[in-house]
Chains A and B, each alone.
Chain A
Amino acid sequence: MKVSVKLFARASELAGTNQLELQIPERSTIAGLRAEMLRSCPELSPLMESLHIAVGSEYASDDCYIEPDSEVACFPPVSGG
């Protein structure tokens, strides 16, 4: 299935875009998504271990499954305030 991943801050800067369009198998986990992100956008590798993935505006752990049409985002540690 197709998944769009919104990128923010340094992740967006490194990737050179604010959205990645990826093709992943049905029933992929967040861990699977991370692997595909690294394959298609190796520029993110310096950050990958610290990157958070959010699905539907909630933090998602690596064993979560991604449902079709979910809103997915990827970003480094937050620094608001």
Chain B
Amino acid sequence: MIQLTQEQIDYTALTESVRSNQVGAVALFLGTVREVTHGRQTDSLDYQAYPEMAQKQLEKVEAETREQWPVEKMGIVHRLGHLDLGEISVAVAVSCPHRHQAFEAARYAIDRLKEVVPIWKKENWSDGTTEWVHPGSAESSSAVPPG
């Protein structure tokens, strides 16, 4: 299941949706809103997507993951809009026959998502300033690395 949502991510339902009697391992990754990045205090984040392309690229991430590991079921959900500290921005759930496959597949999926899926976060810093996060962009010398 691939989903972009404005609602809170129901990671319990997502995890249940990938469980199966055919496998022995389920890995769940959650990305959450961190309070401090390189010494700067975050108040909240705003996520924006290019939805049509994000959906298509997420489907490619799933296909690439399935090519490399024996994935039984997987789901990726990304939250959009305004998120407060501690809220879940992304969830990846994968089931595979064995644990090392599930861990590796989930890691590949989240790493690839962060490279290619057109979603952006804007930092709302506690000092009242805001900043789009664009890793490696020429503009911002203070660019915040992904994560």
- Inter-chain contact B89/A81, CB cutoff 8 Å: yes
For B134, give its contact among A6, A59, A77 (CB under 8 Å): A77
- Inter-chain contact A73/B137, CB cutoff 8 Å: no
Q: Which residues of B contact A75 (CB under 8 A)?
A: 50, 118, 120
- Inter-chain contact B137/A80, CB cutoff 8 Å: no
- Inter-chain contact A8/B139, CB cutoff 8 Å: no
Binds B, one of A24-32, A33-41, A42-50, A62-70: A42-50
Contact-size category for B:
20 to 34
Binds A, one of B14-22, B62-70, B100-108, B109-117: B109-117
A2 within 8 A of B: no
Answer whether A8 and B113 are a contact pair too, CB < 8 Å, given A76-B134, A76-B137, A79-B134: no
Number of interface residues of A (CB under 8 A): 23
In the bound assembly, the distance between CA atoms of A59 and B122 in angstroms comes to 22
For B90, give its contact among A6, A9, A78, A80 (CB under 8 Å): A80
- Inter-chain contact B53/A57, CB cutoff 8 Å: yes
Q: Which residues of B contact A50 (CB under 8 A)?
A: 134, 136-139
B39 within 8 A of A: no
- Inter-chain contact A73/B53, CB cutoff 8 Å: yes
- Inter-chain contact A81/B90, CB cutoff 8 Å: yes
Q: Which residues of B contact A58 (CB under 8 A)?
A: 53, 56
- Inter-chain contact A9/B132, CB cutoff 8 Å: yes
In the bound assembly, the distance between CA atoms of A59 and B60 in angstroms comes to 13
Q: Looking at the assembled complex, report how far the CB atom of A41 sits from the nearest CB atom of chain B, in whole angstroms.
A: 15
B49 within 8 A of A: yes
- Inter-chain contact A79/B146, CB cutoff 8 Å: yes
In the bound assembly, the distance between CA atoms of A35 and B121 in angstroms comes to 27
Answer whether A47 and B139 are a contact pair too, CB < 8 Å, given A78-B114, A81-B90: yes
- Inter-chain contact A78/B56, CB cutoff 8 Å: no
Question: Which residues does B use to contact A, with CB under 8 Å?
Answer: 31, 47-50, 52-54, 56-57, 78, 89-90, 110, 113-122, 132-139, 146-147
Question: Which residues does A use to contact B, with CB under 8 Å?
Answer: 6, 8-10, 13, 46-50, 54, 57-59, 71, 73, 75-81
